A = this chain, B = another copy of it.
Amino acid sequence: MSIKIGILGYGNLGRGVEKAVIANDDMELVGVFTRRDPASVKIDSGAKAYNVNDLSSMKDAIDVLVICGGSATDLPEMTPKYAADFNVIDSFDTHANIPVHFANVDKAAKAAGKIGIISCGWDPGMFSLNRLYAHSVLPGGKDYTFWGKGVSQGHSDAIRRIKGVLDARQYTVPVPEALDKVRNGENPELTTREKHTRVCYVVAEEGADKARIENEIVTMPNYFADYNTTVYFISMDEMKAEHSGLPHGGSVIYSGTTGGNTNADGSTSKVNKHVIEYSLNLDSNPEFTGSVLVAYARAAYRMNQAGDSGAKTVFDIAPALLSPLSGDDIRAHML
């Protein structure tokens, strides 16, 4: 018996979820739900496209609805709404608003007896897990998160809004010296500028003032002003040939200690340093994120089958629930 998955929203992330469902033998894709006219949306795999309003009549046809919307306006409204009828999962990543979003989803999901997993993906998601495991094992240490080298879609969009820009791609790049210090367990204090640089590839309109465009980029508040930013102007051909992918990744590095306590004889035990690092090197950010969502969709289904309900995050979910394999199999092959 397959787990029946619905996808709400068909952008890059929805396509990533689609591929992940196909890659998992215990799952089937019921369909893709869109706010557009379904006849205008071609689903890569040939799955059926529905209008989002069709969801109201498909409550029994879908085990888990994967909501692929934006964190700014879509998810705060959609995830609680659909948690009233479906087990749902999203990748909500507006950090400051997680408590409110969790509370809203929890209320709706508990009332409906459904599971609502929020903020799932790699950050928040796999990176969050690694922060939690490390802090729990070595209390009192310090975690560092580096992103990249990878494409930031938000920063690329910000450049595209500048007058005279035809296309742009922005790579976030960790500063190697900062990474080295953290990996050495030196626990440095790092400013925003010391952690990451930003590298921009820009296609300008014929005759555009490149000096003005570059200046508008590097001085842009929030996005670029606090970083060392490099701008390269390239041709549209080079943009298409060299920068069409959406690679990303990064590292969570945690540095902590054991020992250092006072012994009964008045001596102090030796302080031992430990460094824990979790790194991702991803050819496709949306396909990896989609894969994480689908593994957690399996957990959502199982938790609900076991009678659980309410909002959950990756912190609340036992790892075994993510695997299609039995407890015997995972103990035999992965423990």
Contacts and interface: CB of A to CB of B under 8 A. Distances in A.
A137 B292 contact: yes
A46 interface: yes
Interface stretch (A191-199, A235-243, A271-279): A271-279
Given A139-B23, A320-B132, A315 B327 contact: yes
A283 interface: yes
Contacts of A335: 95, 98, 119, 124, 128, 313-315
A139 B24 contact: yes
Chain copies in complex: 2
Contacts of A85: none
A99 B314 contact: no
Interface string A311-331: 001111111101110011011
A272 to B, nearest CB: 4
Given A102-B331, A258-B23, A261-B45, A138 B315 contact: no
A264 B49 CA distance: 13
Contact of A319 (B132, B287, B334): B132
Contact of A334 (B135, B323, B332): B135
Nearest to A128: B335
Contacts of A119: 335
Contacts of A23: 139-140, 258, 261
Contact of A281 (B129, B274, B315, B320): B274
Contacts of A313: 331, 335
B277 A279 contact: yes
Nearest to A16: B258
Interface in A175-196: 183, 185
B284 A259 contact: yes
A126 B132 contact: no
Interface in A249-274: 258-259, 261, 263-264, 269, 272-274
A261 B327 CA distance: 29
Nearest to A95: B335
A133 interface: yes
